[in-house]
Structures are given as C-alpha cells and as structure tokens.
A and B are shown apart, each in its own frame.
Chain A
Amino acid sequence: MSEILIKNAYVIDPISGVNGETMDIAIRDGRIVEDVGGGAEVIDARGALTLPGGIDSHTHICGTKVNFGRYMSPEDMRAGRTARHGYMHATSGYSVPTTYGNSYRYSRMGYTTLLEGAMAPLEARHTHEEFLYTPLQDTMANALFDGNWSILEAIRDGDTKRVAAIIGWFLTAVKGFAVKLTNPGGTEAWGWGKDVTCIHNPVPNFEVSPSEIITAVVKANEMLRLPHSVHLHCNNLGKPGNYTCTMGTLGLIPDLNKKRQTLYATHVQFHSYGGSGWSDFCSKSEPVANVVNMRPQIVIDMGQVMFGKTTTMTADGPMEFNLYRLHHDKWSNHDVELETGSGIIPVLYRRKNLVNAVMWAIGLELGLLVKDPWQCIMATDNPNGAPFVRYPEVIALLMSKKYRDEEFATVHPDTESRVPLPAIEREMDWYEIAVMTRAAQAKALGIVDIGKGHLGVGAEADVAIYPVRADEVDPAVDYRKVIEAFGKTEYTIKRGRVVSRRGECLVDGNNTTIWVKPKISEEYNMANDPDFIAKFDRYYTVRMSNYPVQDEYLKRNLCIETEAEL
C-alpha cells in the first residue's frame, strides 16, 4: 500500500466543480481517496496551482507515420539531445523525437494521458510497440476508417448495422480506442490519383460521398456505444475557402449522445480558411466558431500553429501532396492497402509569411470565439501545427491580450486585414485553461468514468502541480510566468507515484493502454462473414487470422467493453 498526501494544494478541478480551493488531496494505491493514514508521504504544494493530469486528445507520437517522420528527417535528431541520466534514457529530436523524448517532455509539462490521433489498423502493432516505450502516460489510439473498403461498401448498401459491426471487429482486432475519419473518402480516392473536393463528391469506385460516410459512421459509432465520438479530420484540409465545407460537415451532425458530443472535429484551424486562393487567403474563424456555438453536439480542437520548424504528418495523403507542391521540399506518401494512406513533409512556419501568420491567428481565434471552453480543446495537432512543447505559449496567448498584441506586432503587416484576432478582447482564466487542457478532453474522450481528468474520490491519481500561485499571478500581465509554470511542473503524479519532479523523471514508468471491445451479437460477428473474410483472402497482404494484434503487444492495459446495439 502506498499513500501520498498533497497538502495546501490550490485546486482547480472543473469536472468536480472545484474552482480555486486550497485543499489537501489524499492518494492510496493509485486512486484519490477521502483520507490517508499518518504514515503517508506528504507533499507540500505551498499553494501552487494543482490540476488533474493533463490529457492530450489529439497528438501524433507513436506509429508508422511518426516513425517515418523520424526516418525522413534525421536532421531533426540534431535538436533536443539529452544524455542518459538517472532513470531517463537518452533522447533526441524536436518535432519527431524518440518515444522517450515525447514521454519525458509531456511528463514534465504535467501530461499523464495521450491519444494517438491516427493509427492505420493494418499497422497497429507499430503503434502499440511504441506505446510500450512511452512509459509515463496512459495511451490510446484512434483507428482510421476513412477509406475502409468493407465499410464503404456497407455504406453504399445503406447497411449501417454492418458498418458498426465492421468497425467493432477492427477496433477489437487492433486494440484501438476510437473511430477516426481523415479526409473521409479522399485518401481512398488518392489511391487512384484523385481527391474529393466537397462532402457531396462521390468517392471513385464506391459511389458514396464523404457526407454519407460521415453520417453513417457517426450513427454506427453510437450503435457501438463507444466512449468517444467519431473523431473527424474534415475534407479539404489546408485549402483556401474550405470553411464552407467545414460548416457543411458540422451541419450534418445530429445530437445523439447525452453524455458527450456526437462529433469531435480535430485541428479545425486547418479547416477555417476563406479566400479563393493564396492571394486573398483569410480567416473564417468567426462563422466556424458560430456554428460550434450553436451546436452543443460538436467539440473541436484548435490545431494551433506556432512559428518555427516542425513536421506535418497525416493520413490525408492528397493534402500532403498539395503541401509538397507549395514547398518543393522532401515528402512521403504511403498507401495502406484497403484502409487509408498517409503523407509527411517537414515545414517551417514563418511569422513574416502572410499565410502562416493568418493560420497562427485562426487557431487562437477559434479558442477565443468558441464561448464554451468545453467545446474547444487546446492542441496543436502535435507536431503538425507545432510540437507539443509549445503548449505553454499557446496557453499564455489565450490568457493574455497583451502577449497576443506583442506577438501580433511581429507578424506580416497585412495579417491585420485578414483576421479578426486584434479585435478579440477575451482573456481566459485559470479555470478555462484547466477545462481546455484536461477536463474537456476527459469528457470528450468519454474517460471520466474510468477516473480520468478529475480529482474526485475514486479518480486515478494523476495530478500536476505547477509552480505558480494562481491566486496571486495575473496571467494577462505576467504571461511569462504562465509559460514558465506550464513548461515544467513542480510534481507530476501518475497513478499515485511521483513520476516527474521539476523536469526530472524519477521512475521507469508503466503506462496503461486503454482500448475498447464492443460486445456484438453472433449474427453481426464479422469473423463469420464470407464477404468480409474474402477481402482478406483476395486483397490484403495478411490473412484474417494473422491480422489481430496479439495480446503480447500490450502489457498493462484496460479494455472498455461496451454493449453494442447489434
């Protein structure tokens, strides 16, 4: 039995309804409890800001894409080099660091749970292998279904139950956590050298449109009673004028779930562009934020861009090819058999580049214009908009108009005529930041019930203590202190153990992989379906029996079983 008592913590815990109370937190055997005995290890927080452990609900840290980013950018490994030290392995890399680099850097920022945003089902083993070496955070993965042939055929046949059954089979087989659609239909079309330009364009060979894919998969997701909603990367990412497509997409979504949103739209910054080309490119954050404000069934994440070097990586192969045509730098594209694809290119976002400056502004505008912080999550689509180590700066920009104005003064001078940012006065408070960096993620991912994202009795003891007095520091003025505080915790506690202290990781770590298994009736068990089996025999490079990820790929893990309506 191990016990910790955190004394004098200045707690903000939005899910439990705590907003700035100085209290003690008792921990026993990895869980929050009412109280502990006199022998407990005492941590004196001295009034420092204490939050539930941070959760990133959309990041790219593990798997084939990330690793290909490492492979094609060996020069990235020249940055971020740290030698082996104590429990910490050597690390290197900046935008695509080693797995330990990711894990240590997240941990020193107080993050304890991560969702890998895009795992190709066929390549799931690689993701799970890298999860094992990301030891200081609990991990889970979105599985990609945007171009799955069996699903596209079931949608064409109007059989939503079959769609759900297929998704259920794949999620269980690859030990995934949620359903991801990346440029639905577009990446499949790209396999034939085409793309879709609007949600009503039919996908070649399947005669279904992105809007049909999205609506059917959203329904199927709810039939499976999955913890998380569909996680969508809209069509037309990065194209001027794409905001109409984004608004049309958000408009398709009914409100189907009482506990959480029905759709999680990711990195919406990349989908809120006006203009007919790059010359009249401008922000359309206002209409997009308005749609979100009117539709409680939608949650978005910002997809904030920060200036500097990074690597873009997505299952959206055609988008990456367009990006290559702009930059003429190295690029890669990859096709994943009957499922999806991907592309990767390194980029440099420059503040003196008008397009980049507008992108930077749009992310912040979404954060500030979406009224309810539970509906807009802070994220950079790591590393696409910026590596996650830039989160403290993003937080400070949301909290300080002064900081935004100072930064705005350094960007391309024409930016002002293209974006509403300078006119937005809103400054987020500590509570709203706590929502946008952990509570909203836990609710959106549907993991509050397993004890994530809060500090109520029974919750997982994942705690971040930041070296800042939230009751004394004015974040709007002292934004430097905000950046510093969120950059390095005083303590990061994971499942009741101090894993990181002032930036130094203190244990080897032993994370949990969270995955789902919908319980489906025999009638809808795809393992017995001749057409489904034929796909493997006829097209896949692996047999169906060899496809599922074996148990040995997961060490410590938590399977959430759901009662599917099938």
Chain B
Amino acid sequence: MMRVSLAVRPRKKPTIPIEAETITPASFLEGAEIQVWRGNRELPLDEVFAVTIEGAADRPEDVEIVLSGDTSRMKRVGEYMDAGRIVIDGDIGMHCGNFMSGGVIEIGGNADGWLGREMQGGTIICRGNAADYCAAGYRGGRKGMTGGTVEIFGNAGDFAAENLAGGTVIIHGNAGDMAGVELHDGTLIIKGDCRRPCGNMSGGVCVIYGIAYDMLPTFRKMGTEIRDGREFLSFTGDIANRGKGNLIVKDCTYQD
C-alpha cells in the first residue's frame, strides 16, 4: 500500500484556481515528476502541497491519496482516475472525478460544480453539498454520466444528473432546479425536494422522496406504487418528446 498525503501549503492568493488533473492514484506509481497549473503557471506538485509518501505500490488499486487544507479551488482532482482511492478532508473545487472509471473519491466537505462529470465507473461520496451540474454531462454533449455511483449526503445544486445515461446518483438532501433533465438511462434518487425534474427525459428512472415542485405538465400519471410503506405517484415521460422515462414522486405541485 502507498499512502500519499498532500497538505496544501499556505497560499498568497488562495483564490487563484489550481488545475490538478495530475492528482490520480496512477500518476504516483510512475515516479515521474507531477506538475500542476496555478493560473497560467505550471508548478511542481511540492510547491503547492507538502507531499508525504509512505509505503510503495505497483498498481493504482493500492494507492490512497489524502488531500488536506484549503482545497476548495483545486480543480479536476481525480480526472480519468481508474482505481485506488482519493480522500479529501475539506471542500473540493470544480470537476472533481471527471471521466472517472474506477476507484473511490471521498469528499469530507462540499464539492464545487461538475462533480463526477461524464463519469463512467467507480464511486464518489460527498459528505457535504454538491454544487450545480453534479454527475452531469458536458455543455452541449448528449451523454453525461454512464456508470458508477455518486452519493451526496447534503444538497445538490441545479441540473443534478443532467443527461444521465447510466449508473446511480443518490442525493440525500434536496436537489435544485432541473434535476435529471435529459435523463436517458440509469437511476436518480433524491431523498428531499427538487424543482422541475426530468425535463425531456427519454428513459431511466428518477425517484423523488420529497416534493417535486413545478412538475412539468408533460408527464403522464400512470398510477401509484408503495415504497418504504408510503404511497408514491408514478409518471411516464417526457411525452413532449416521446420519452419513456419513469418519474416517481412522493408529492408534487404544478405551476398555476
């Protein structure tokens, strides 16, 4: 087992983002010098972090990376990661776990936008809140997340699981506006409330345990079903575009 500790060094301008797509378990195996970008400058990793490595590994599965300190402006951590484990003590910046295909990312604090964008596999757990476009696709793209699991224990922002095409997204708190918009396949579970869910949904399943506010009128009510001993309403849609998705809500309201 290899354990990599990355403790953020004090920064003069902590708001300048750091592009850190090189922070993945696999890159610590190769022994090559790891660089990150701060603004428009490329820097060696140990200029930004105090790096401590314990143990050794010859496969990414055996690498664990722990980030501590103010990581709220560190972007793209774990991008393309395929195995191993990244633990983030605090908050993490945008695009954490982009294109991830395996392994685990655990975030102790909040995640900024685009958490797990176009993720293909593996697991992301976020103990705090996730900002907009959590587990979503790229702007303009047709396919978002295609596999794996994203679990948010706090709230999610707008457009959660946009263009979801596979895998499972679980939000324990509330989600924002347009949750599950353009959902094609896979499962979105929201334990709290959300607004205008699943516009233009073509397939897949979305279950909302709270209230779906401003439900779109283009979902056809199919009946009721019992989940955890409670009665839910089951809809199909989005029929505006001949969609065959399944939207299941505990309660909903429509706009006047």
- Chain A residues within CB distance 8 Å of chain B: 72-76, 78, 328-330
* Residues in chain A near residue B139, CB distance under 8 A: 74-75
Question: Shortest Cβ distance from B137 into chain A, in angstroms?
Answer: 9
Q: Flag if B241 contacts A75 (CB, 8 Å).
A: no
B140 at the interface (CB under 8 A from A): yes
Add 11 more A-B contacts to A72-B140, A73-B140, A75-B140 (CB < 8 A): A74-B138, A74-B139, A74-B140, A75-B138, A75-B139, A75-B141, A76-B140, A78-B138, A328-B241, A329-B142, A330-B140
- Docked complex Cα distance between A52 and B139 (Å): 41
Question: Shortest Cβ distance from A491 into chain B, in angstroms?
Answer: 33
- Docked complex Cα distance between A78 and B139 (Å): 10
Tell me if B's interface is mostly helix, strand, loop or mixed.
loop
What are some 14 contacts across the A-B interface (CB < 8 A)?
A72-B140, A73-B140, A74-B138, A74-B139, A74-B140, A75-B138, A75-B139, A75-B140, A75-B141, A76-B140, A78-B138, A328-B241, A329-B142, A330-B140
User: Which residues of chain B from 103 to 143 have a CB within 8 Å of any chain A CB?
Assistant: 138-142
Question: Shortest Cβ distance from B206 into chain A, in angstroms?
Answer: 21
Question: Shortest Cβ distance from B67 into chain A, in angstroms?
Answer: 27
- Docked complex Cα distance between A329 and B140 (Å): 11
* Residues in chain A near residue B141, CB distance under 8 A: 75
* Residues in chain A near residue B140, CB distance under 8 A: 72-76, 330
- Docked complex Cα distance between A73 and B138 (Å): 11
- Docked complex Cα distance between A548 and B187 (Å): 55
Nearest B residue to A73, CB-CB: B140
User: Which residues of chain B from 181 to 232 have a CB within 8 Å of any chain A CB?
Assistant: none
- Docked complex Cα distance between A72 and B141 (Å): 10
Question: Shortest Cβ distance from B80 into chain A, in angstroms?
Answer: 14
Nearest B residue to A75, CB-CB: B140
* Residues in chain B near residue A78, CB distance under 8 A: 138
Question: Shortest Cβ distance from B77 into chain A, in angstroms?
Answer: 20
Nearest A residue to B139, CB-CB: A74
Question: Shortest Cβ distance from A86 into chain B, in angstroms?
Answer: 18
Nearest B residue to A78, CB-CB: B138
- Docked complex Cα distance between A330 and B137 (Å): 15
Q: Which of B140, B142, B241 has the most CB of A within 10 A?
A: B140
- Docked complex Cα distance between A78 and B117 (Å): 14
* Residues in chain A near residue B142, CB distance under 8 A: 329
Question: Shortest Cβ distance from B217 into chain A, in angstroms?
Answer: 20
* Residues in chain B near residue A330, CB distance under 8 A: 140
- Docked complex Cα distance between A330 and B140 (Å): 9
Nearest A residue to B141, CB-CB: A75
Question: Shortest Cβ distance from A70 into chain B, in angstroms?
Answer: 10
Question: Shortest Cβ distance from A228 into chain B, in angstroms?
Answer: 36
Question: Shortest Cβ distance from A98 into chain B, in angstroms?
Answer: 15
Nearest B residue to A71, CB-CB: B140
Question: Shortest Cβ distance from A559 into chain B, in angstroms?
Answer: 40
Nearest A residue to B241, CB-CB: A328
Contact with A along B134-159 (1 / 0, CB 8 A): 00001111100000000000000000
Nearest B residue to A70, CB-CB: B140
- Docked complex Cα distance between A330 and B163 (Å): 13
- Docked complex Cα distance between A329 and B139 (Å): 14
* Residues in chain A near residue B138, CB distance under 8 A: 74-75, 78
- Docked complex Cα distance between A92 and B141 (Å): 16
- Docked complex Cα distance between A182 and B141 (Å): 30
- Docked complex Cα distance between A318 and B137 (Å): 30
- Docked complex Cα distance between A328 and B243 (Å): 11
* Residues in chain A near residue B241, CB distance under 8 A: 328
Question: Shortest Cβ distance from B99 into chain A, in angstroms?
Answer: 12
Question: Shortest Cβ distance from B244 into chain A, in angstroms?
Answer: 13
Q: Which of A73, A75, A328, A329 has the most CB of B within 10 A?
A: A75
Question: Shortest Cβ distance from A85 into chain B, in angstroms?
Answer: 15
* Residues in chain B near residue A76, CB distance under 8 A: 140
- Docked complex Cα distance between A211 and B203 (Å): 47
- Docked complex Cα distance between A75 and B139 (Å): 6
Question: Shortest Cβ distance from B39 into chain A, in angstroms?
Answer: 15
Closest 10 CB pairs of A and B: A75-B140, A74-B140, A74-B139, A75-B141, A73-B140, A75-B138, A75-B139, A328-B241, A72-B140, A78-B138
* Residues in chain B near residue A329, CB distance under 8 A: 142
- Docked complex Cα distance between A35 and B144 (Å): 62
Question: Shortest Cβ distance from B2 into chain A, in angstroms?
Answer: 33
Question: Shortest Cβ distance from B138 into chain A, in angstroms?
Answer: 6
- Docked complex Cα distance between A328 and B139 (Å): 18
Question: Shortest Cβ distance from A77 into chain B, in angstroms?
Answer: 8
Question: Shortest Cβ distance from B43 into chain A, in angstroms?
Answer: 18
- Docked complex Cα distance between A101 and B18 (Å): 28
Contact with A along B237-252 (1 / 0, CB 8 A): 0000100000000000
* Residues in chain B near residue A74, CB distance under 8 A: 138-140
Question: Shortest Cβ distance from A13 into chain B, in angstroms?
Answer: 44
- Docked complex Cα distance between A76 and B139 (Å): 10
Question: Shortest Cβ distance from A76 into chain B, in angstroms?
Answer: 7
- Docked complex Cα distance between A73 and B141 (Å): 8
- Docked complex Cα distance between A74 and B142 (Å): 11
- Docked complex Cα distance between A73 and B139 (Å): 8
Question: Shortest Cβ distance from A397 into chain B, in angstroms?
Answer: 30
Nearest A residue to B202, CB-CB: A328
Question: Shortest Cβ distance from A147 into chain B, in angstroms?
Answer: 30
Q: Which of A72, A76, A78, A329 has the most CB of B within 10 A?
A: A78
